């Protein structure tokens, strides 16, 4: 577990996709109340559950994209009494009840905002903004793998997934955008927010200049 800002921690896990290493980032947000938000699930060990709980009281589990279900059951098993939030239709994907991300729990007011990314109905991703640390947290909107990748990882990400440079949007995400105007309107709202750091679901944290690099990645993909 790595603390990356006041009240913000990151855990990283391996995740293989078609023989490539994508990794999975789990973000922990501690509210002023002491309650925790767990963004993205993973196969948490008993020790990790204890370590997480030592930071505060787990208050909410969250997956912020419809197809981000790989470890949802693991998270639910590790924290069975904690409310689980997800996008519309997520309950059907994971086969257990989940609560909506919007409206956000009132306990988050002034600290965490939920920002829908419209125009991508197959994915239904939501960006999460942690206001105190000026951090935007995304799932698959962009990836940020290391530029020195080699072998199959490099070939797959560059020529199949379509990443020109990092951070970048995958070819799959771009194909899932069905209403470009709605998507662009959502991104205009997100770019109007105050953030500098970007935590991606897969890859390296963008510690600074995140807004400009995110804008560049979406421009490279031709979606803004």
pLDDT in tens, 135-148: 999 999 999 987 77
The whole-number pLDDT of residue 178 equals: 97
Q: Which of 92, 118, 113, 119 is nearest to 101 (CA)?
A: 113
Give me the number of domains the chain comprises.
1
Residue 88, domain CATH: 3.60.15.10
Range 94-120 average pLDDT: 97
Helix (H) or strand (E) holding 173: helix 171-176
Mean residue pLDDT of the chain comes to: 93
Q: Residue 51: which domain range?
A: 2-220
Whose CA is closest to 168, among 191, 200, 196?
A: 200
Q: What does the block give as tokens for 102? A: 């919007």
Q: How far apart, in whole angstroms, are the C-alpha atoms of residue 177 and residue 123?
A: 9
Q: Which residues contact 35 (CB under 8 A, 6 or more apart)?
A: 56, 57, 58, 59, 60, 107
Q: pLDDT (tens digit, 9 = 90+) per residue, 90-104?
A: 999 999 999 999 999
- Provide, rounded to the nearest whole percent, the portion of the chain with pLDDT above 90: 83
3-state secondary structure of 177: coil
Question: What SS3 state is found at 13?
Answer: strand
Q: What is the pTM of this model?
A: 0.93
């Amino acid at each position: 577990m790595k603390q990356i800002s006041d009240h913000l921690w990151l855990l990283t896990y391996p995740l293989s996709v078609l023989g490539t290493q994508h990794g999975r980032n789990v973000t922990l947000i501690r509210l002023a109340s002491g309650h925790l938000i767990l963004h993205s699930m993973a196969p948490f060990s008993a020790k990790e559950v204890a370590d997480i709980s030592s930071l505060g009281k787990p208050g909410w589990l969250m997956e912020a994209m419809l197809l981000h279900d790989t470890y949802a059951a693991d998270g639910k098993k590790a924290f069975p009494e904690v409310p689980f939030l997800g996008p519309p239709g997520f309950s059907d994907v994971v086969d257990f009840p989940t609560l909506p991300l919007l409206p956000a729990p009132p306990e988050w007011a002034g600290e965490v905002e939920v920002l829908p990314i419209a125009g991508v109905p197959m994915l239904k991703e939501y960006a999460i903004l942690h206001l105190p640390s000026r951090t935007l947290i995304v799932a698959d909107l962009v990836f940020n793998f290391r530029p020195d990748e080699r072998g199959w990882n490099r070939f797959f990400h560059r020529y199949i997934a379509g990443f020109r440079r990092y951070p970048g949007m995958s070819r799959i995400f771009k194909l899932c955008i069905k209403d470009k105007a709605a998507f662009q309107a959502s991104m205009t709202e997100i770019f109007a927010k105050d953030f500098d750091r970007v935590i991606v679901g897969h890859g390296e944290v963008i510690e600074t200049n995140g807004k400009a690099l995110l804008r560049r990645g979406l421009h490279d993909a031709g979606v803004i």
